Amino acid sequence: MKFDTPATTNPIDQLKVVGHPVDRIDGPRKTTGTAPYAYERHDVAPKAAYGYVVGAGIGKGRIASINLDEARRAPGVIDIITAQNAGKLAKAGRNTATLLGGPEIQHYHQAIALVIAQTFEQARAAAQLIRVRYDRQRGAYDLAQARDTAAKVANRPDSAVGDFAGAFAAAPVKLDATYSTPDQSHAMMEPHATVAAWQGDKLTVWTSNQMIDWARTDLAATLGIPRENVRVVSPFIGGGFGGKLFVRADALLAAIGARAVRRPVKVALTRPLMMNNTPHRPATIQHIRLGASLDGKLTAIGHDSWSGDLPGGKPENAIQQTRLLYAAPNRLSTLRLASLDLPEGNAMRAPGEAPGMMALEVAMDEMAEKLGMDPIAFRILNDTQVDPEKPGRPFSQRRLADCLRIGAERFGWQARSARPAARREGQWLVGLGVASAFRNNQVMKSAARVRVDGNGIVTVETDMTDIGTGSYTIIAQTAAEMMGVPLDRVLVRLGDSDFPVSAGSGGQWGGNCSTAGVYAACVKLRDAMAQKAGFAPQEAVFDSGQIRAGGRSVPLASVAAGAGEGGMVAEDVLEFGDLDKRFQQSTFGAHFVEAAVDAATGEIRVRRMLAVCAAGRILNPKSARSQVIGAMTMGVGAALMEELAVDKRVGFFVNHDLAGYEVPVHGDIPHQEVIFLDESDPASSPMKAKGVGELGISGVGAAVANAIYNATGVRVRDYPITLDKLIGKMPLVV
C-alpha cells in the first residue's frame, strides 16, 4: 500500500480498541518470568557451550603477541576464537569499528577473543589466563582538546539563512554562551546477549536486537554468507534505547564460536563491555548565540556543535531541533566532528535532540531573562507554523504553544517567581523550570502478514520488535480494530526474520510505522474476505467477529474456514510517499519541573514533573504514558548524574558499571504527570499517529537546569549539574 495522500476516514477511526488504555498483553509473561530473553533460550540450545568475551586492554595500538596456551589448558575450555582463527570477516556497514579486533586495536575493550567452555565460570576463569602484549599508540581521548581539529561532516552541511553575523551584531539584546554535555551510556537492564546455532550452512541467532532486518543483513555481510542463510530471532528485549540497533560483538562471536565448536554457543557481554564495547551517546560542546529585538522577537539564531567519534563515525546532530523550533530570519547552524579513539559514539534515545535541547532550551531561558520576559511567553512569541528555514513548507501539525499554555495552567506556573532564589521552604530553595519538547516524526516502510483461521483467530506476523515499548499490544489493537474482533482473539508474533520486514524499533518510528504496516495487511485481507463472502469490499463492515453489508452478515471464522485448512492470509507493506517532504513532520511538547536545592549542601531534589505532548493519535495512552515517564526519568539522569568519566590518559570509561555510572531510581522521581493533547495527524500515516517515546526525553534536562537556576540563581552550563558545581555559588543561608 502506498501512503501518499493524507489519510481520511478509515476503519481505524472507529477507535473501539485503538486509542484505549489497554494493559500490555505481554505483561503476564514478563511478570511471571515466562518471557524468554536471549540468554535464557534453553529451549533452543539445551546443551549450549558458554562464550566469554575478552576486551582489549588499550585504547589504541596493536596486539604485539597473544598467548593462549595456559587458557587452552584450563578446565572445560573447548576453543578460543581470535582474529587469527576466526576466518575472513568484513566490517558490517552500520558499525564504525570492527567487532573483532586484532592486530589493530581501535578502542578500549574492543573484542579480541572469545573463550568457549562447558560452563560460564570455566570460560570466565580461562579468559583471565590469556596473556596479551600490546604496542600502545598515542590516542585522542579529549573532545575539548580535539575541538580545534574537528572537521565538517560531508553529508551534514552547514545551514545558513539570511545574514546571521550582521543580524547578531546589530541585535540590541544578545546571548553568547557555551554548553557541554558528557558521554552517556544506554545502561539498559538486559545485556547484549546471543545464542547462536548452525544447521549445515544456515545460522540462527537468538539475540537482543532492535532492528531484525538490519541485524540479519549485517551479520551475513560480516560473515560473508548469503543473507537467506541467516535467521535472527528476538521476541523479547530488555531495553535498548538505541544501543541495540546494530549487530554487536556478542552476536558475531557467538556465531563464529558455534561454527568452530559445532554446537550452540551463548554469549553475553559483561557490564564493563557494554559500557566500553558497545555504542554510547557522545559528548558535545555547543556554542549558542541568540539575538533579539527589545520586544522579544528573535532576529538571529546561531548554534554550533562539536562531538567526536572513531574515524569514519558520525556526529551527534545536536543542532537539528534548532533548525526547526523557533522563528528567526537570520540563522546559522554547524556540525563539527573530531576523530577520537574512544568507543563508538552512536544513537541513544533522541540522538541529537536530547543533548541539543539541553543547551538550546537553557539558552532560551537565559535570553528571556535578559529581555525581562516570562520564558513561556518568550517561546510562544517566537513560535512558527512553517519550517523557519524553508518557509514554503508547513508543519503537518504543530501545537507547541498549546502544550506550553496547558502545561503552565496545570503546573501552577503563575506561582513562579521571576527572581531567582526567591522561594524558600526551610532549608530548601525551590524553583520552577520549563522547556519545549521537540522530536522529528520519522517514517519507514513496514510490512506485516495477517491471517484469520477457521476459529476466527487473527494472527499477525512481522519482524517488529518490542523493547519494552508495548509493540505487542498496539499491534494487537490495530488488528482487532481492523478485523472487527475482540483483542483476546488476536495473536501477535514478533521479532523473527522469517516474518515480513517491519520498520523495527528506533527513532520513535516503531509504533506508528509498524501498526501502519499491519493496517495495510489488514486492508488487503479485508478486501479478500469481503469478496469471498460475496460483499463489495467498500461496503463491508467488520464488527464483532462478523462481516456485514446490505442487511446480511457472515461470521469471519466461516469465511476463513471456507478457504481451507490455513484460513485466509494477506501480506502487504506500507510504503510512505513524499508527505514527509511536503510537510515538516515533528512532535512537540512542554516539560515542567519543580526542583528543590538544599541551601547548605547543594543537594538537588526533583519534586514533581509534568509533560504535555502533542504527538498525533495516541494508540494506547497507558503504554504511551509509560514511555514518556521513562523518558522523563532518563532526562533527569542526564541533567543530574549521568556521565561516563573518560580516563584521558589511556582512553576508556572509568565508571563502566552500574555502581559507578549513576542512573535515577524511584526515590529520585516522586511525582510525574503526562498529558496527551487530543489530536491526529492525517499526513503522518493511516494510523494518524506519531512517535512519542523520544519526545519524552527531549527538553527534560533543560527544564531541570532551569528549575535549579530559578531556585538558586546559579547557572550551570556543563552537565551533569552536580552539587560541587553549585555549592560555592549558592546564596548565603540566612
Q: How far apart are CA 651 and CA 671, in angstroms?
A: 39
User: What is the 8-class DSSP label of residue 723?
Assistant: G
Q: How far apart are CA 722 and CA 637, in angstroms?
A: 11
Q: For the chain, give the longest Cα–Cα distance.
A: 84
Q: How far apart are CA 634 and CA 625, in angstroms?
A: 14
Select from 590, 649, 596 the least CA-distant residue to 614: 590
Helix H or strand E segment including 232: strand 230-233
Q: Are 250 and 53 in contact (CB under 8 A)?
A: yes
Helices 471-483, 510-532: crossing angle, 10 deg rounding: 30
**Do β-strands 49-55 and 265-268 pair in parallel, antiparallel, or remain unpaired?**
parallel
Cell readout for 717 is 552550563
Residues β-bridged to residue 79: 116
Q: Distances in Å between the alpha carbon of 512 and those of 196, 246, 504, 519?
A: 31, 21, 11, 10
**Do β-strands 49-55 and 111-117 pair in parallel, antiparallel, or remain unpaired?**
antiparallel
Select from 676, 589, 694 the least CA-distant residue to 631: 694
Contacts of 274 (CB under 8 A, 6+ apart): 185, 186, 191, 192, 243, 656
> Would you list the DSSP string of 284-336?
EEEEEEEEE-TTS-EEEEEEEEEEEESTT-----TTTTTTTSS--SEEEEEEE
Cell readout for 99 is 567487532
Torsion sign across C-alpha atoms 369, 432, 421, 356: negative
Q: Are 187 and 658 in contact (CB under 8 A)?
A: yes
Query: Going edge to edge, which strands form the sheet with 2-3?
Result: 2-3, 568-576, 446-452, 458-461, 490-493
Helix H or strand E segment including 728: none
Answer left, alpha or beta for residue 707, where phi above 0 means left and psi between -120 and 50 means alpha. alpha
For residue 672, the SS3 value is: strand
The one-letter amino acid code at 310 reads L
Answer left, alpha or beta for residue 690, where phi above 0 means left and psi between -120 and 50 means alpha. beta
Residues β-bridged to residue 86: none
Q: How many CB atoms lie within 10 A of CB 456?
A: 20
Q: How far apart are CA 375 and CA 580, in angstroms?
A: 31
User: What is the 8-class DSSP label of residue 23?
Assistant: P
Distance of alpha carbon 179 from the chain centroid:
23
Cell readout for 279 is 555504542
Q: How many CB atoms lie within 10 A of CB 68?
A: 20
Q: Are 456 and 556 in contact (CB under 8 A)?
A: yes
For residue 202, the SS3 value is: strand
Q: Is 481 a catalytic residue?
A: no
Cell readout for 638 is 542526564
Q: Are 89 and 224 in contact (CB under 8 A)?
A: yes
Q: Are 462 and 472 in contact (CB under 8 A)?
A: no
For residue 64, the SS3 value is: strand
Catalytic positions are: 694
